[in-house]
Amino acid sequence: MRPVSTIDQAISVQPDPSLTAALQRLRGRATLGDVVSATGMPEHEAETTLKGLLETFRGHLEVSDSGDLIYQFDPKLIARDREPFGVRFRRVAWSAFKTAFKVWTAVMLVVYFVVFVVLIIAAMAANRDDRGFGGRRGGLGLGDLFLLHWLLGGRGWDRGSLYYGHRHARRLPKDAQPPFYKKVFAFIFGPEEPRPTQVQKDRGLLRLIRARRGVLTTSELIEHTALPVDDAREEMGRLTGAYGGDPRVSGGGELVYAFPGLMKSAHGKVRAREPNPAWMRLEYPKKLTGNSGGANLGIGAMNGFNLVAGSVIGLGLGVETAVVGAGAADPLIFFGLGVVPVTYSSLFFAIPMLRSLGLRRQNRARMRRNVRRLLLGLVYGRSVGTVRWLSVADAIRHVQARLKDQQVSGKLVTDELGRLAAEFDADVEADDSGYRYRFPAIRETFVESELMRRSLRLENQKLGPIVYATSDTAVEASRRDTEAFDRELARAEVDLSRYLPSPGGVGYEEDFEVVMDARPAKSRVRQRRSGPRPPLRLR
């Protein structure tokens, strides 16, 4: 019979309505005993379900002074991927506007550019003899088709690929360059941003767990993600629920997360390369368009040409026709060649100008996160080994020396260092030069996690013999079953032999003698070691 795997068990676990109702009554904060008492669920089932809820709902684990684990959820049991309505509405509305404007761009920029070029050439030809220009009056010529191919084409470009900007595109092979229309869209809305899935983002964290021999603390997670402490606790809760984490309380009272399932491999001992820490993964400042200067110049010139041509040919000619003819302007000329292209071309320039305001705010936030990451590197470097003091002046010099190309103010560094001190409950001292900080709590968490690694030794786990395989024939399956039964029998004999002292002896003992036996413990132990107890003699 096929054994039930842990994956099957995890899939079969569904949130119990009685458990979620109990958590809501308990305002999202409960121990395992609280949940068992409120629902009547078996303890192991309640624990498994609670870990699963940590992946689904916003929550984390806490540990009390007595070493007990406390599950802390949002009282409303809010899903982790839930967005506020306002944020979701703005995102959907902006996405819809971008899609509609891109479609409009594909028609407006290219078609109107070609139309205006043709009209100008036709007007120039009308003022001359028909030499060499007669072929332009019937439609688009070969040169126009080449222009369309240049605008819409892309050498070897995958139509489903995203354009992350010129810095990324120039690293691509020459036969896989992005088409020009991608650069046009980037000019308006900025370069496309990669949006990895949660599973893809988790790969780096799983590598970290494996590199740390299956044991991780919140401080070690912050080392690689730069998350604030509260957010890091939430993330540890999600990882615990998603990847079979086992929260444990160390001897020093620290909450340590073990992931024994991640340390088992079909290829022997697990070896993983640790990902870079947070201070080795700073964020680039976001670019307004991501294009090269030449591409921006060409796109701006095309749209500027449409704007001027629409103003002169469409609006100007339409108004002039109305004045000369003493009647209403021709709608086709006034609106088709004037209002529509002028409106579009104005929006074409206005959207990037408005985006630049928000881009400054985003880049300030990125700089603040980079400062935090650099400070984390400095703080961890002075805390994991010998705990040393860190002055504000040292922190400012450290950050400014590594962000030379950006104007980092001392106040920003001081504020971020103060936030780190509050998050990690740092020691603070004041001297003549200002404040200085020390972070002993970081070292304590690293020490406790290392002691837990040495205690669990999850890296030494080995897979047992194969007991089932879908490729087995009937004879091979029967042989595996027989071998598995023999192993279980041998294991039972080894494990149970110590619970069967002197199986060949005979003795008598009444129940009350067990209670009334007042001999010292040492004498009882000595007697058990020397041999079976003599039978009871009746008087």
pLDDT in tens, 245-291: 889 988 888 899 999 999 988 788 888 888 899 999 999 999 999 99
pLDDT of residue 531: 46
Percent of the chain with pLDDT over 90: 29
Q: Other CB atoms closer than 10 Å to residue 63's CB: what's the count?
A: 17
Q: Is residue 524 over pLDDT 70?
A: no
More confident residue, 18 or 151: 18
Q: Other CB atoms closer than 10 Å to residue 180's CB: what's the count?
A: 19
Q: Is residue 191 over pLDDT 60?
A: yes
DSSP conformation class of 79 = B
pLDDT category of residue 221 using cuts at 50, 70 and 90: very high
Per residue in 13-32, is it b (16+ CB within 10 Å) or e — as a string?
eeebeebbebbeebebebbb
Q: What is the pLDDT of residues 421-432, one digit of tens each?
A: 999 999 999 877
Picking from 269, 265, 115, 99, the residue whose alpha carbon sits closest to that of residue 188 is 99
Across the range 89-111, mean pLDDT stands at 80
Token pair recorded at residue 225: 């993600």
CA distance 139 to 359: 43
On the 0-12 / 13-18 / 19+ scale of CB atoms within 10 A, 44 is exposed
Sequence ranges of the chain with CATH classification 1.10.10.10: 1-82
CA distance 45 to 36: 9
Backbone angles phi, psi at 261, to 5 degrees: -65, -30
Q: Is residue 126 over pLDDT 60?
A: yes
pLDDT category of residue 460 using cuts at 50, 70 and 90: confident
- Rg, the chain, Cα only: 36
| Domain range 1-82, its CATH number among 1.10.10.10, 2.70.150.10, 1.25.40.390, 3.30.70.20 | 1.10.10.10
8 A C-beta contact, residue 370 and residue 403: yes
Question: What's the length of the chain?
Answer: 539
For residues 271, 274, 275 and 276, what is the CA-based torsion angle, rounded to 10 degrees? -160
Highest mean pLDDT among 21-30, 97-106, 502-511: 21-30
More confident residue, 268 or 402: 402
Can you name the residues that pair with 434 across neighbouring β-strands?
431
Q: What three-state secondary structure class fits 63?
A: strand
Q: What three-state secondary structure class fits 209?
A: helix
Cα end-to-end distance, the chain, whole Å: 58
Q: Is residue 323 over pLDDT 60?
A: no
More confident residue, 499 or 482: 482
On the 0-12 / 13-18 / 19+ scale of CB atoms within 10 A, 457 is exposed
Percent of the chain with pLDDT over 70: 74
pLDDT of residue 464: 60
Picking from 345, 332, 337, 295, the residue whose alpha carbon sits closest to that of residue 316 is 337
Crossing angle for the helix pair 218-225 and 229-242, nearest 10 degrees? 110
More confident residue, 520 or 446: 446
Query: Which range, of 253-262, 350-359, 478-487, 526-535, averages the lowest pLDDT?
Result: 526-535
pLDDT of residue 330: 66
Across the range 202-224, mean pLDDT stands at 93
Mean pLDDT of the chain: 78
pLDDT of residue 210: 93
Q: What three-state secondary structure class fits 69?
A: strand
Q: Is residue 225 over pLDDT 70?
A: yes
